[in-house]
């Protein structure tokens, strides 16, 4: 009895350079990476704007994964564009250029089917858009969101309103500290939990992830990869694995949250092994199960006498 997941976020054309190659004007965006990753677990319904320059064929990777694209709204203007660069330290992207395009005027309208969504992910967009979407969903069972420094600094009140209505926040390490105004991560997570989300998942790139919730703290290292080609979309792939598992599993138990963090890590670790969506597009269910087992091998240790 798997529930579907509704995601609102961006669909973009990305131009990315890493020390290992470059891609120009390829499909990207937070809702795209999220949907690709979550599609391995359950039905995904995507809500995002694209411009008149977006062709049907551009959405092929999402269509191939069975993502419901009825919420992909083509509106006047150009599709959102992001251009970024990574150095040998692949942990942080340097944004070279963003072109908001249709994002600037995006006014999300959900269909009735979408309003009935039980699992909702508000990817990293303007917190006012996040709230607009959430107000249209009639009785969500579990809502998570992401955000970034741009909104933490630029729209703090709107972000607080979003945070007051979500069950979980998935956020980068540095941004968690910034949002809480607190350098210690344990205290930062506690402060964020007081803002609303009962669960805070801190994404730490190549260092893994830590989840803070009422059932305590759970930490998992990142999967040690010999070859990382393009970190773009790692956080959204993480969110896709995390939400996808929760929706498929349905229990929302402490155990399923821990599995969700690991499956988020699994999807992120797969995603960065190739440029753009290439790796997720060729991923199989068996590879996901295999890497999940690898995570258990990576982290398991015995009691001491």
Query: Which residues here bind a second copy, judged by CB under 8 A?
Result: 88-89, 183-187, 204, 206-208, 210, 212, 216-222, 224-228, 245, 255, 258-259, 261-263, 289, 292, 296-304
Nearest to 131 by CA among 145, 117, 113: 145
Residue 53 has a CB neighbour count (10 Å cut-off) of 15
Nearest to 205 by CA among 242, 187, 231: 231
Report the residue number, 44 or 262, with the smaller CB distance to a second copy.
Answer: 262
Q: How far apart are CA 263 and CA 245, in angstroms?
A: 7
State in angstroms the smallest separation of the CB of 148 from a second copy.
20
Nearest to 48 by CA among 116, 3, 101, 119: 101
Helix ranges (H only) for 116-273 are 127-136, 149-154, 156-163, 173-180, 185-194, 234-249, 254-271
State in angstroms the smallest separation of the CB of 216 from a second copy.
7
Report the residue number, 117 or 201, with the smaller CB distance to a second copy.
Answer: 201
Report the residue number, 88 or 107, with the smaller CB distance to a second copy.
Answer: 88
Report the residue number, 5 or 102, with the smaller CB distance to a second copy.
Answer: 5
Give the H or E element holding residue 119: strand 119-122
State in angstroms the smallest separation of the CB of 89 from a second copy.
7
State in angstroms the smallest separation of the CB of 218 from a second copy.
7
State in angstroms the smallest separation of the CB of 304 from a second copy.
6
């Amino acid at each position: 009895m798997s529930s579907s997941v509704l995601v609102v976020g961006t669909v973009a054309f990305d131009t990315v350079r890493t020390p290992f190659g470059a891609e120009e004007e390829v499909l990207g965006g937070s809702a795209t990476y999220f949907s690709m990753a979550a599609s391995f677990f359950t039905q995904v319904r995507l809500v995002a704007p694209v411009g008149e320059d977006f062709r049907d064929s551009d959405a092929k990777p999402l269509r191939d994964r069975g993502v419901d694209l009825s919420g992909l709204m083509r509106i006047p203007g150009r599709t959102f564009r992001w251009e970024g660069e990574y150095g040998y330290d692949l942990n942080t992207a340097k944004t070279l250029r963003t072109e908001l395009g249709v994002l600037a005027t995006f006014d999300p309208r959900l269909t009735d089917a979408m309003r009935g969504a039980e699992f909702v992910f508000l990817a990293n967009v303007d917190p006012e858009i996040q709230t607009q979407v959430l107000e249209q969903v009639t009785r969500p069972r579990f809502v998570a969101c992401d955000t970034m420094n741009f909104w933490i600094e630029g729209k703090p009140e709107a972000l607080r309103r979003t945070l007051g209505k979500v069950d979980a926040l998935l956020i980068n390490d540095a941004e968690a500290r910034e949002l809480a105004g607190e350098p210690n991560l344990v205290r930062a997570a506690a402060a964020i939990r007081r803002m609303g989300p009962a669960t805070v998942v801190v994404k730490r790139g190549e260092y893994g992830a830590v989840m803070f919730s009422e059932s305590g703290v759970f930490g998992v290292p990142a999967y040690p990869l010999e070859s990382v080609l393009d970190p773009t979309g790692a956080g959204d792939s993480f969110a896709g694995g995390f939400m996808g598992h929760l929706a498929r599993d349905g229990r929302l138990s402490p155990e399923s949250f821990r599995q969700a963090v690991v499956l988020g890590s699994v999807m992120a670790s797969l995603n960065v092994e190739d440029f753009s969506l290439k790796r997720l597009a060729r991923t199989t269910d068996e590879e996901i199960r295999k890497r999940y087992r690898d995570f258990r091998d990576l982290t398991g240790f015995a009691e001491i006498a």
